[in-house]
Chains A and B, each alone.
Chain A
Amino acid sequence: MKKEIIRLQNVTKKIGDVTYLDNMNLHIYKGEIMGLFTLNTLGKEELLDILLSRSVPNRGKIYFDEELLRYNISTQSMQNKVYMIEKTSKLSRNLTVADNIFVMRRGFKKYIIQPRVLNAQAQLFLKEIKVGIRAQTRAEELSPLERCIVEIIKAAAMGARLIILNDVSAFLSSAQWNRFFEVVNIYRNKGFSFLCVESSHDALLRTAGRIALMRNGNIIKVLDVDADTREKILPFIIEPAVVTYAGDSPVRQFPVLIMNEVTTANLQGFSMQIHRGECVVITDLNNTIIQDFIQIFSGQLAIDAGSLELCGKIYRKKIRISSPIRHGVCVLNEHPTQSMLFRDLSYVENLCFVSDGKIRNLWSKRRVHKSLVDEYYPLAGENLNLTNITELDETGKYDLIYYRIHLLNPKLLICIQPFSGADMYLRSHITGLLNFLRLRGIAILILTVNPADTLPLADRLILVRNGKQTREYNRDAFSRIDPGELFFGNVEQK
């Protein structure tokens, strides 16, 4: 007989005129990893808010441990019972692992803290799951994987019964994911329940016992995970069209970037090259090299050894890339709509923001300005006249950023996790935008910890472990890759 940890029954959440959750049902059993595959993001945040007692539903009932929570007391009843692990750490950076687990929690009432006792207790937890984390380590020194494991222990110590794993595949590499789910399974066997929220189904198929598909604020299907589940999920998914490319055109014979035995703190003799109009995906299996790439190509870090040839100019040891944009390199950060748009500027001003260094007197010459508007009107439409870009939806914001790069026309675009946080429809749209840039001859280098969504676009896939290439696949070999084995391994539910 199963035991139900939480049950949402006919839950409706409206804010203003928008219905975020519409008569939604969901139940999670004790000791279960439940997958929540969000086909679009409508209602996701509101659902998590309700589960975390940050808000109450307008209608519907919530049962915790098969007991009905009344409207006005539901917030108190579920506090401490549900914990969420996401990209943002909930640990205090300057405190030790032991302090974070035992001291930084609601209900801790001791006035005198004995570090030795706390460390010994924390070490017991850590030993049990066989991880090499010391209780005295400060939280800021932990890797993303270690941080997530410590958060699970913290959740268990504070009495949480349901742990939400929100978009964990976006910041844990495949190797880290496998290790993390070994720990998750240990806690699952102890009776803790997990709700694994992902916008991609590959990860869920290998970890969850059941998968609920959520679209437009409602659960549209609940599937038991078995051998046929991948096939059953297919009708709900929009796969981005596989990009057909005109083979090795003459322009692709000129390398834009050649990295030869490049060494930094995290890169260990890394070599690769990328040609015009080519898309290369680098999958960082340990989640260590992305920051080094960002710093090298934004001119903040010089390489320690090897050489780097960028658009014909060679950089050796201790020489930084000066003015990367002028040299034709553009770095597109993760979540660009949050960090690369200026709310006080209009659409056109945002569009031309970095191009003014390239086009002389861009702002004063009305003729240039008009020609820009004429060129981008067929793409952006009426949005081009917007003075307040906060009126744009998420798709429109991505359009603006990619059109800005299109206008800048760099030789090399470095994209950091371009699909992070995007739902299925937005991922498909971003794939189209990246292809739009590639057809202009821009070389695209994608750095990611989860390559699943980038394959329709990629010409080559390079796997990197511990700062070194381990394998490289060309496009024609992609079909032979077993996505399960390659990206997530097979995590058996015991």
Chain B
Amino acid sequence: MGSRKRRSLSARSAILFGLLIGVCIIQFAVIVLYASGITTTPYILIFFVVMQAGLTYGFYRFVYLPYCETTRILRLFNKGYTFEEIYHIRYPFSEDMEEAIHKFSEMINTQELISVSKKQAEYLALQNQINPHFLYNTLEGIRGEALSAGVTSIAEMTEALATFFRYTISNVENLVTLEDELANIENYFIIQQYRFGERLNMSIEIDSEEEKSKILSYHLPKLTLQPIIENSINHGLERKLGRGNLKVKVETTQKRLLITVSDDGLGFEEDRLTELNRKLNSTSMDYVKPDTEKKGGIAVINVNSRIKLLFGEEYGIYIYSTPNVGTDVEITLPLITDNIAGKII
């Protein structure tokens, strides 16, 4: 508690103000002594002037600069650019403010926001799910009929569709391995290829072949990649004339997993891109509201919010795009091994 008292700006201001008043009173007394001719040495006066200058600097260094930092964090919080920073304010205005923020952080439990996000994902899944087992059985039935009729293409497509639904509709809470996510998007791509044929091409590139198995075992939220691939196909490549290429690139650093999904499709207009990146930079739950605009990009915002709520503001999605050149969606995630994954959810 003692250290907290010293940290708050009101306490610091009070101490410095008290010292300044003290120095001023003594200085006034010294001036009286000069005026009455009791002393004539200038050193006392110089000493007090230096004291005053020191106190003024102290006020600037220990009150004004911390005040600016705190105000800035509050301003950024109000505009929606930061969320967690407010819990780590180094110089609260007062002890009460610090306690209020602490209380606030307890009330607004991040887990609740995460559950809202999850509910949204579950809801989206449920919209397509009348009876999953009935759907799987029917698809298996179609596959069997196709095989017995010798139409292997229909059998393969049906199998891919059944596998895709199993992965998508089953439990949306879990973190999955990168291997599973990549397998899912490859499966999704097989389905899309029946629609686009040779027009669509996809490649997956893993940065370090030596560490491939280790990289594939890292965890990430389920259905992180598929909505982005779907967006790239629907908004970037579908209306493009000629061949469209999709590339998924996976890189790792000591603390991060970087996945870049690139397409050479139609791209975004600059204004739309700026707006989208601005939304991706803020931790907003607006997308949960039913009246949110339904333009392309909603899935990306959803995935981004899930990542930010689960892992913090330093992770998420950023989009690079140029009209008629293509779009790169850069996903930044923490490196999550088996051990950590169990603790998160």
Contacts and interface: CB of A to CB of B under 8 A. Distances in A.
Given A22-B274, A68-B314, A71-B69, A59 B76 contact: yes
A22 B278 CA distance: 10
B81 A59 contact: yes
B325 to A, nearest CB: 5
Interface string B104-121: 000000000000000000
Contact of A235 (B76, B251, B252, B322): B322
Contacts of B65: 72
B207 A220 contact: no
A66 B320 contact: no
Given A1-B254, A71-B69, A219-B320, 10 more contacts: A2-B207, A9-B314, A10-B281, A23-B278, A59-B76, A66-B253, A66-B254, A220-B321, A220-B322, A236-B322
Contacts of A4: 253-256
Contacts of A25: 318, 330
Interface residues of A, number: 23
Interface of A: 1-4, 9-10, 22-23, 25, 29, 59, 61, 63, 66, 68, 71-72, 219-222, 235-236
B325 A221 contact: yes
B277 to A, nearest CB: 5
A1 B322 contact: no
Contacts of A59: 76, 81
Chain A to chain B: the 8 pairs with minimum beta-carbon distance, closest first: A4-B253, A10-B281, A66-B255, A235-B325, A25-B318, A2-B253, A1-B252, A23-B277
Interface in B301-345: 314, 318, 320-322, 324-325, 328, 330
A220 B252 contact: no
Contact of A222 (B255, B278, B328): B328
Contacts of B76: 59
Contacts of A1: 208, 211, 252-254
Contacts of B211: 1
A29 B258 CA distance: 12
Contacts of B4: none
B239 interface: no
B324 A235 contact: yes
B240 interface: no
Contacts of B330: 25
Contacts of A72: 65, 69
Nearest to A59: B81
Contacts of B256: 4, 66
A222 B321 CA distance: 10
Contacts of A22: 274
Contacts of A222: 320, 328
Contacts of B277: 23
A297 B173 CA distance: 77
A22 B270 CA distance: 12
B328 A3 contact: no
A236 B322 CA distance: 9
